[in-house]
Structure 1
Amino acid sequence: WLNPLFIIGHKRKLEEDDMYKVLPEDSSEKLGEELQWYWDKEVQKAKKRGKTPHLTKAIILCYWKSYLVFGIFTMIEETLKIVQPIFLGKIISFFENYDSSDEASLNFAYCYAGALSVCTLILAIMHHLYFYHVQRAGMKLRVAMCHMIYRKALRLSNVAMAKTTTGQIVNLLSNDVNKFDQVTIFLHFLWAGPLQAVAVTVLLWMEIGPSCLAGMAVLIILLPVQTCIGRLFSSLRSKTAALTDVRIRTMNEVISGMKIIKMYAWEKSFAELVNGLRRKEIAMVMKSSYLRGLNLASFFVASKITVFMTFMAYVLLGNVISASRVFVAVSLYGAVRLTVTLFFPAAVERVSESVISIRRIKNFLMLDEVSPFKPQLRGSNENIILHVQDLTCYWDKSLETPALQQISFTVRRGELLAVIGPVGAGKSSLLSAVLGELPTDKGLINVTGRIAYVSQQPWVFSGTVRSNILFDKEYEKEKYEKVLKVCALKKDLELLANGDLTIIGDRGATLSGGQKARVNLARLVVFSVYQDADIYLLDDPLSAVDAEVGRHLFEKCICQALHQKISVLVTHQLQYLRAANQIIILKDGKMVGKGTYAEFLRSGIDFASLLKKDEEVAEQLSVPGTPNVKSARNRTFSESSVLSQDLSVHSQKDGAVEQPPGENALAAVPEESRHEGKINFKVYRKYFTAGANYLVIFILIVFNILAQVAYVLQDWWLSYWANHQEKLNLTTNGYNGTNETEHLDLNFYLGIYAGLTVATILFGIIRSLLVFQVLVNSSQNLHNKMFQSILKAPVLFFDRNPIGKILNRFSKDIGHLDDLLPLTFLDFVQTLLQIFGVVAVAVAVIPWILIPLIPLFILFIFLRRYFLDTSRDIKRLESTTRSPVFSHLSSSLQGLWTIRALKAEERFQKLFDAHQDLHSEAWFLFLTTSRWFAVRLDAICAVFVIVVAFGSLLLAKTLNAGQVGLALSYAITLMGTFQWGVRQSAEVENLVMFI
């Protein structure tokens, strides 16, 4: 079912429309609600028992049944891996006791070759069937957790918001949830590894006796060592995650406030701040990378040390080695090697990481939620009322000074209440209390009717201008046109290439500041026109427009469109106070005056003097929907394209440039760009030279080659030793261990074998540590260069590029360069060199292997090229569909008060789920196409094994047992190694794309 997609990908670049729709059972909403149900149930149970809820328990209860079934695949696969060496031993024994006249033995040998071939073919299918299911299970868990995190973010109280940041929430979505994709792959090996080790030990005892204990002892010693490494790695990752949180949070603030940073020329200060945070983070990354390097090196040499210890003990006990014993033991150790030295430690490491991530997510899910604020539904228009009596509120109870103190007023239908006061007086806090965002400590708030709200900082979300205005209301042309006219938006929309269907990018990059303010006001007026709200809260919405436009908006929107509604207007513009039915004056959270405009004039109060305060002091309150830096309320720059043709610098910057309709360059925000075609070699060169000079790179290449040469020579020497022993046995009628020459011979062979083993260990460790050192340095230098480029970029760059897109580069992409790319690259290099070594040795022993190898190699080249054509695009689509998830989260947090005030949580949750489903489409294809390719590669290798097995029997007269054993055992090894190496090469190319 993937073939049509590969055909399209081979012909042209894949687009989002080419992706298969997400399966119903994989949808974000379904998965999230299911896991949320189990989590809510766990929270309720824990609350009754007075204990802390466990998110892990909720995850297990939700997924244990389906995940347990996948263990069956693991059991079948690992059993077949153990059975394979038995059949291999039988075939080698046939060559050791070869008799050309014994037809029965030959027939049995063909049966064993057939059984070996069947095992190989089943393994090729079973292995990828298991990985497909567990990776999909990981995807489901990740998607469900993201749904829950976003759902919680929409419900966070302001006290809880003070305990977390957008950067931390983004980190939960970008890093922590990704641990679930990995842990589900290896989790079953926590029980499969020990069981397989026991089974292999039993078979080895039957084959070579107690000598096998020496080899198994190595594996047993490696397990606690790798477990300790896993725990230490977990500890380092926890520290790294905390440092990453701080860096991403800082980066989010830097990117969000880049205009201010540039205005005050703070680039150098923030560069030092971010670089300092990055140095601390990279120091931890380097330590954990060294541990990973040791872990990979131990995997590389574990089987060699195991085999060496086994046969050293075997020959020192006076036994004679033979080809069948050697290669059965090598194959059995090879079968258990992946499980014990890679999958089991990886399971321990991933579980440790996941435990930390689950703890972080649980702590977030346990944060306080905003209290359900349910205004009384109106009985009739006359009953609509906003009544506040003796209201006292605290943002933080630990502070002695309340945000609001003893506030009382009543507003009825058709009245306009104006709230004035200096910066920091508590005006926005008053509105937040009415919205239910600021918890009431004392007093009463009585709200009868539905509320609409417009924030002080204009807030728009990614979508069309029309969708921002209608806010999910049904489009009715007459009413909609009325709203545009009232808010003076008609001529502005005519200047946009697609009119009101123009896409607004993240942070409203397509619109100027005044246009965004009017779009926000239009959204409020829509609720009036559509009769969907009774009480309108306006937090200084006219501060971003000039005086003439402001007067038009005040008269048409607030005085006329909302004249039959309750309106509460926070303002600094005194010219609007005459129209207010009531005015209250706030100062330091207290109400210092209340009355009508006429009453205040009669009492001789000077409004202007009340508003004077140190204008350089910013609002201390930092909450969603209000800016951290004092907005320029007194600006009167002309930016309206409706009433003025003189467009300001701000308008030009934000896209309202003087161009005829259809010519606006920013009429629509382009989707995130995707590189096309192959990765140029220059990219690889720049990547490596970013971390080391050419001399270090040359030394690195030399150590890689030396490590693989030592690795191959050790196997070849063992085969040579076994063959020499077999010839010696034939000439001396059996070796009894007492001949003096044989003692000298033993010392020579064992000495060389020991030397090669030590060389393999040393070169393997040095190679691993060097690769991580160079590549982590590259990551650090590339991060610094990218950050410097961001700091030097013009402001227009930040208007045209969403926060999520930029933040994605510094979170997810840098995370890949820190962790995933060095690990994947080292794994690819080790595997590639191992494949070359296997083929070289096999061809040297049995040259005719080249005959089937050549067409298989040609087929492989075609398959790889065919696969990469599609794989590159799918990986790029996965990357580009991920950014909107972060952008939507960031945008939602910025407009959190507006979303909650307009009761749009469900709508934005669905939008988030839609973004997640789009990403799941790309991610699912990424998983399945990888399996499509791997199955075909393993099929090629299975054919190779079958050819070697049956070809050996056909040429039985010309081959000895050692040659057959080496060729067959290497061919079996090639099967798993080959497909993994090729897939890792593709993965390296995909990851290099992030550079």
Structure 2
Amino acid sequence: MDDILHLICPNSSFIWDGERFSDCFEDIVLGFGVNIVTVVMVVVLGFSHKIDRRSDGQMNFPEKIVMDFIPAFGACLSIVDIFFLWKKEHSSHIVGYHKWFYSCSELMVWVNIIFFTKRGGSHHIVFNRVLCFWWIPKAILAVLYLMTKISSFKVSICITESLVVLLNISFGIAINVIRIKRPSYKNSFLEDPLLSNGVDLEEGGYQDLENDGNFWDLMTFNFITPVMNHGVVKQLDSDDLLPLPTDMDPSSCHDVISSCWQAQLSNNGSNPSLFRALCSAYGWPYLRLGLLKVINDSIGFAGPLLLNKLIQFLQQGSVNWDGYLLALSLGLTSIIKSFLDTQYTFHLSKLKLKLRSSIMTLIYEKCLRVNLAERSKFTNGEIQTFMSVDADRTVNLCNSFHDMWSLPLQIGVALYLLYTQVKFAFVSGLAITILLIPVNKWIAQLIASATEQMMKEKDERIRKTGELLTYIRTLKMYGWELLFSSWLMDTRSLEVKHLATRKYLDAWCVFFWATTPTLFSLFTFGLYALMGHQLDAAMVFTCLALFNTLISPLNSFPWVINGLIDAIISSRRLSRFLTCPEDKVKVGNKSSCPPSFLSEQPDSVQGLGVFIQDACCTWSSSEEQALNMVLNRVTLSVSQGSFVAVIGEVGSGKSSLLYSILGEMQLVHGSIYSNESIAYVPQVPWILSGTVRDNILFGKSYDPERYTDTLKACALDVDVSLMIGGDMAYIGEKGVNLSGGQRARLALARALYHDSAVVMLDDVLSAVDVQVAQSILYNAILGPLMQRKTRLLCTHNIQAISSADKIVVMDKGHIKWIGNSDDFPVNSCTQFSPSNEIDSALQNHGQSCSPNLSSKSKEQSLLGTSIVRALEGAEEIVEVELRKEGKVEIGVYKNYAVFTGWFMTVIICLSAILMQASRNGNDLWLSYWVDTTTESSQTRYSVSFYLAILCLFCIINSFFTLVRAFSFAFGGLQAATKVHNKLLNKLMNAPVQFFDQTPGGRILNRLSSDLYTIDDSLPFILNILLANFVGLLGITIILCYVQVFFLLLLLPFWYIYSRLQFFYRSTSRELRRLDSVSRSPIYSSFTETLDGSSTIRAFKSEDFFFTKFTEHITLYQKTSYTEIVASLWLSLRLQQLGAFIISFIAVMAVVGSRGSLPINFGRIGPLICSSNCVLIGEFFVKLH
């Protein structure tokens, strides 16, 4: 091994040569290593298919000459350099292999660039975004390489090496300048054409930006600037948002996860896992991000190490230029880390959006496919929680998984570096770490248990809330508001009980998080001093910097465990729902549930529209409850084109008979066949939120002639003509602005328009008066549009029964009698029908059976109360969800303080301020300890005195931290309880008109997702906000006190900071509000689909509704994506502002070390350790 190193480095050591890196190390690492990486990147990217054919056409002639000349000249210089090396070898000069490695690798770089440039027929390779990025650090490393040669005073350096370095710099500048100038992508999506084919925006906008755009804009997130400019001057809307990348489109995400989930069902039939499906779909891109995280975490340790070198340099009083290099390196590493950190967060956030879209679409698709019998295992509230809460918790697995290995790795590296500083004194800190691991694990288990119980109670509360909203009219008519409020609040009390358990456990986590740094410093420095060692500035503040590095891993670990446990619980809940059996053949085909449901028409039932043989059906899928059959030994055959009337007492099984044909029930025995084309009108008509036309078309294309005939046949033409907007009048959720008769006729019109082979109508005539019933019976059900259809009508209408080809009498789940109307006496219907209906029908029977009503009677019927109802509700009854403009009003904060309680608010604020003051005092006391134990100091105290004061600061800090943590938990619970009670009180006292104008999904969103924010997220965010605010204030005071020259920087820094936060907050507020508004349609659509899933399956409209749902998801994803980019835009700029402050403080310290300025070396450490104030300010701006 030594012989090999001697061949490579004959004239120097391999790494270190006196006070600097050796020539060998510089040539191998800064030269050869960088060049080899460049060659690999050029080769890989050169053989890829990402070729920009427009590059030549977008460069002028001088630019082409530059791009051709620089690589050629660089290759020539490299050849000349190799020639001189060869000449030295033959002149008895010893030239190490490291020189040959460097020169040959430099030649390989230029040759590969020339080759791939000419191979592509354009300059696409040099403009690749990855290579453009790489040329920037390559040029910086080339400068460092040249500086090390100059600093070693080796004037004999070959002139060709200097020229090659300058070529690297000029080439990196040239390609980035030309790339910025060339319009290879649309600078703004606002410049897109007004008419688009639907994909130009994505492909021409974001695709060019992602694969071939300006790399500088990608790295700095400048492509969000047009959106932020608009956010400052106007209220943003959906058209101002960034377009989604193609691979983030909900349909694309659904295709990916759906194929992976189907593979799980096939390969792991009894135990499929959503987690494994997500890993299969997105595991490899997610794992690739782990490499970026390793690099980012590694650079995080460069700061403490450089700080140690800088303080040692200052203490030595050296006058060379190494101090400035160290000072600037501190800032440079912070800048590099800011780029890596924001890029990691950006790509991780994109992946999380894909996962969220995938899970949401998978849940929605499952709701469309699973029948009512299987879905009865879950309440609607539980299914809504799957969408609103469990989906997000499963997505949070992305954060937790990488942190599970990254945080222990960071802890291990930090502890090792601590060992290098304080030797075995770090064992005390290690003991704290080991002690916290089982404590955090135990707390995490308790939190997981409390969370699971809380989610159960939350599911129950949402279920009850949904029922309350469904029957709100009945509730208000009977004056049961207080009764049902207490009914709902009992469930809420149980939920808050488990929430309180979680919050108080979280408070202990906050306590450990905040007190760990001070305890670390107390035990480590105390043990180090008691071992007889003297504290010095370099060691103390390097350790403090390492402590700060340890804060996040140590205290984030329990949160990571909590998030991981929550994600696992939620993924299991989702897997349980997604594994519900569903129809093997798509709903709407000839069979609904093979093998009992016939998939093909048997020879024995030729000419039949519906055939049921010895069928036993139940609503339960469990074997025990399946013994209680709803339909028992039912046999029925219906000829194609016939009209069958199904009659029977209430609860006799009429509706269940229709559901069994649709495949919504569990078929225990027998077989059922129906034609593949079915239209269905349920007993309670399901009305879609939308226009009249939307409800009738139901996803089918518009046929004007059939549409007009349908309106006339269903007696809707007069109603529609009187509505404001005609058939484009908007109908509210569940048809709230229509009468019961209008809803029934609208649902009938939908079935009539769809021209299905089998039409099943469940008591459609009972919702209208006798004359209208007679009209739609003869014009619609028996009219020309349904004349050749197979019709099954559950009814008590005597005229319909008399007109039926076949009559089926149901009794307790059995078919009691089957025959035709001639054999069935009309008077026997009295046992099934209300007396007033029978009396009216008998009066008209025989004398008004004509299918043509007189125009006068028809007009009188239609212009009754239902028309008045239509006129009142035909306008846009559903109010558009409004959002506030401008900054958040101070009254919002005041109201939350009132809910928390003014006394608790004061306690929380005071404890946070005193906690931060004691922590800053702890750092300043350490600085004082270091200053007074130096050889030049005349003031000295015993070690016990220093430790006693340090221990006092730790006790004070721990006490106020504990008060802050538990007061915040108690105050948050108080606010959560009062907000829910006030919201419920407002809801129960709201007029019925409010429920007519507000979709139920929007109300449920307030009582589920938004209330969860009040319960859990808001207290957590406010806790961090307050801690960061007092931290920013404390650090600023220390910086101004210790380094007076920071006052010169304070004013311009504060101006830049305020401008950035103003620019960001103006847009961020609008995006947050858009996010909340765009979320409501998702839950409204989802709730609506749950109510009408059987109707959707009957009409085979799953694809239509799935497409509508993905449109809602797309808007939500676009809002979230834009919000993420805006957040990273701010984060990058503030982190770089912090890097500038670090460099300023360090440079001023170096200047002071030369005697130009008064400097206290013991206080330089806390200055740089505390200069993360910009990062704290970043959190403050975002959380505010």
TM-score by length of 1: 0.90
Aligned to 2:274: 55
| Contact 1:586/1:592 (<8 A) preserved | yes
Gaps (5+ residues) in structure 2? 1-222, 591-598, 838-856
Distance 1:127 1:296 in 2: 24
Post-superposition Cα deviations, 1:620-642, rounded to whole Å, max 9, x if no partner, equal xxxxxxxxxxxxxxxxxxxx996
Pairing of 1:270-309 with structure 2 (within 5 A): 270-309=484-523
1:352 maps onto 2:565 in alignment:
yes
Partner of 1:685: 894
Contact (CA 8 Å) 2:264, 2:273: kept in 1 or not?
A: yes
Deviation at 1:427, TM superposition (A): 0.3
Structure 1 segment 587-986 matched on structure 2, within 5 A: 587-601=811-825, 606-611=828-833, 643-644=860-861, 647-648=864-865, 656-657=870-871, 666-667=875-876, 669-692=878-901, 694-726=902-934, 729-730=935-936, 745-956=942-1153, 957=1155, 958-971=1158-1171, 973-985=1172-1184
Note the alpha carbon deviations across 1:88-133, whole angstroms, 9 max, x for none. 11211222222xxx432xx111111121111011111111111122
Q: 1:963 to 1:440 in 2, by over 3 A?
A: closer
Provide the residue aligned with 1:17 in structure 2.
239
Q: Secondary structure at the match of 1:591?
A: strand
The one-character-per-residue Cα deviations of 1:135-162 (angstroms, maximum 9, x if unpaired) are 2212211211111111111122333222
Partner Cα separation in structure 2 for residue 77 and residue 114 of structure 1: 19
CA distance in 1 between partners of 2:1103 and 2:859 (Å):
35
Amino acid corresponding to residue 589 of structure 1 in structure 2: G
Name the CA distance, whole Å, in 2 between partners of 1:645 and 1:322: 95
Larger deviation, residues 507-516 vs 223-232 = 507-516
8 Å contact from structure 1 (residues 35, 59) kept in 2 = yes
- Distance in 2 (CA, whole Å) between partners of 1:264 and 1:810 is 24
Offset, 1:922: 0.9
> For the residues of structure 1 that align with 2:828 and 2:730, how far apart are their CA atoms?
46
Asked whether the equivalents of residues 28 and 144 of structure 1 are also in contact (C-alpha less than 8 Å), the reply is: yes
**Offset at residue 362 of structure 1 (A):** 0.7
Task: Tell me what 2:283 maps to.
Answer: 64
CA distance in 2, matches of 1:351, 1:606: 66
Contact 1:513–1:651 (8 Å) recurs in 2? no
- The structure-2 alpha-carbon separation of the partners of 1:641 and 1:194, relative to structure 1 and needing over 3 Å to count, comes to farther
Aligned match of 1:564: 788
Shift of 1:682: 1.8
Q: Any gaps of 5 or more consecutive residues in structure 1?
A: 616-639, 659-663, 733-740, 986-995
For residues 126 and 110 of structure 1, the distance between their equivalents in structure 2, rounded to whole angstroms, comes to 24
Conservation of the 8 A alpha-carbon contact between 1:489 and 1:642: no
Task: Specify the alignment match of 2:757 in structure 1.
Answer: 534
Supply the distance in 2 between the matched residues of 1:611 and 1:534 (Cα, whole angstroms): 29
User: Matched residue of 2:451: which SS?
Assistant: helix
Report 1 or 2 for greater relative contact order, CA contacts < 8 Å, sequence distance ≥ 6.
1
Q: Tell whether 2:720 aligns with 1:511.
A: no
Aligned partners of 2:644 and 2:805 also within 8 Å: yes
* 3-state SS in 2 of match to 1:657: helix
Give CA-to-partner distance per residue, 1:283-330, whole Å, 9 cap, x none: 111111112122122111211111111100011111111111111110
Conserved 8 A contact 1:93-1:961: no
Alpha-carbon distance in structure 1 between the residues aligned to 2:487 and 2:822 = 53
* Post-superposition CA distance 1:913-935 (Å, at most 9, x none): 22111111111112111111111
Q: Note if 1:113 corresponds to 2:313.
A: no
Q: Which amino acid is the alignment partner of residue 487 of structure 2?
A: L
Counterpart in the other structure of 1:231: 445
The whole-number CA distance in structure 2 between the counterparts of 1:757 and 1:190 is 29
Q: State the distance in 1 between where 2:337 and 2:433 align.
A: 24
Q: Which moved more, 1:347-356 or 1:962-971?
A: 962-971
Q: Structure 1 counterpart of 2:885, which letter?
A: E
1:495–1:17 Cα change, 3 Å: farther
Say if 2:737 and 2:874, in contact at 8 Å, map to a contact too: no
Find the counterpart in structure 1 of residue 359 from structure 2.
Answer: 145
Q: Is the 8 A contact 1:719 1:963 kept in 2?
A: yes
Q: Secondary structure at the match of 1:419?
A: strand
Q: Tell me, yes or no, if the aligned pair for 1:461 and 1:507 is still in contact at 8 Å.
A: yes
For the 8 Å contact 1:301–1:761, the answer to whether it is kept is yes
Q: Which moved more, 1:353-362 or 1:457-466?
A: 457-466
Q: Report the CA distance between 1:983 and its aligned residue.
A: 1.6
Do the aligned residues in 2 keep the contact of 1:157 with 1:371 (CA within 8 Å)? no
Q: Secondary structure at the match of 2:501?
A: helix
Q: In structure 1, what is the equivalent of residue 256 of structure 2?
A: 34
Distance 1:140 1:916 in 2: 11
Aligned residue for 2:428?
214
> Once the two structures are superposed, what CA deviation does each residue of 1:13-59 show, in whole Å capped at 9, x if it has no partner?
01122223322211222212212222221222223xxx522322222
Q: C-alpha deviations, 1:864-899, integer Å up to 9, x for none?
A: 122111111111111111111111111112111111
Within 5 Å, give how 1:541-556 maps onto structure 2. 541-556=764-779
Matched to 1:26, the amino acid is M
Q: In structure 1, the residue corresponding to 2:615 is in which secondary structure?
A: strand
Q: Tell me how far apart the structure 1 counterparts of residues 888 and 422 of structure 2 sit (CA, whole Å).
A: 50
**Residue 578 of structure 2 is aligned to residue 578 of structure 1:** no
CA-atom RMSD in angstroms: 2.3
Query: What is the DSSP-based 3-state SS (H/G/I as helix, E as strand, rest coil) of the residue aligned with 1:103?
Result: coil
1:171-570 equivalences in 2 (<5 Å): 171-342=385-556, 344-370=557-583, 372=585, 374-375=589-590, 383-396=607-620, 398-399=624-625, 400-448=627-675, 450-528=677-755, 533-560=756-783, 561-570=785-794
In the other structure, the counterpart of 2:200 is none
Q: Secondary structure at the match of 2:680?
A: strand
**1:699: how far off?**
2.5
Letter in 2 for 1:33: D
* Structure-1 separation of matches of 2:394 and 2:613: 50
Letter of the 1:599 counterpart: D
* Cα distance in 1, alignment partners of residues 827 and 668 from structure 2: 31
Kindly indicate whether the alpha-carbon contact (under 8 Å) linking 1:383 and 1:448 is maintained by their aligned counterparts in 2: no
The amino acid that maps onto 1:68 is: L
d(CA) in 2 for partners of 1:447 and 1:64?
44
- TM-fit CA distance, 1:441: 3.0
- SS of 1:598's equivalent in the other structure is coil
Give the length in aligned residue pairs.
925
Partners of 1:417 and 1:874 in 2: CA distance: 56
CA distance in 2, matches of 1:535, 1:416: 10
- My pick for the range that moved more, 864-873 or 591-600, is 591-600
Q: Which residue of 1 aligns with 2:169?
A: none
Is the contact between residue 878 and residue 999 of structure 2 (CA under 8 Å) also seen in structure 1? no
CA separation of 1:854 and 1:440: change in aligned 2, threshold 3 A: same
After superposition, what is the alpha-carbon deviation per residue over 1:961-992, rounded to whole angstroms, capped at 9, x for unaligned? 11222212211x3243232232222xxxxxxx
SS in 2 for 1:497: coil
Provide Cα deviations, 1:149-185, integer angstroms capped at 9, x if missing partner: 1111112233322210111111011011111343312
Contact kept, 8 Å, 2:878 with 2:996, in 1: the verdict is: no
> CA offsets, 1:463-497, max 9 Å, x none?
32212111222112122111112122223223333
Shift of 1:665: 7.0
Q: State the percentage of identical aligned residues.
A: 29
Kept in 1: contact 2:772–2:861 (CA 8 A): no
1:612 to partner: Cα distance: 6.8
User: SS in structure 2 opposite 1:53?
Assistant: coil
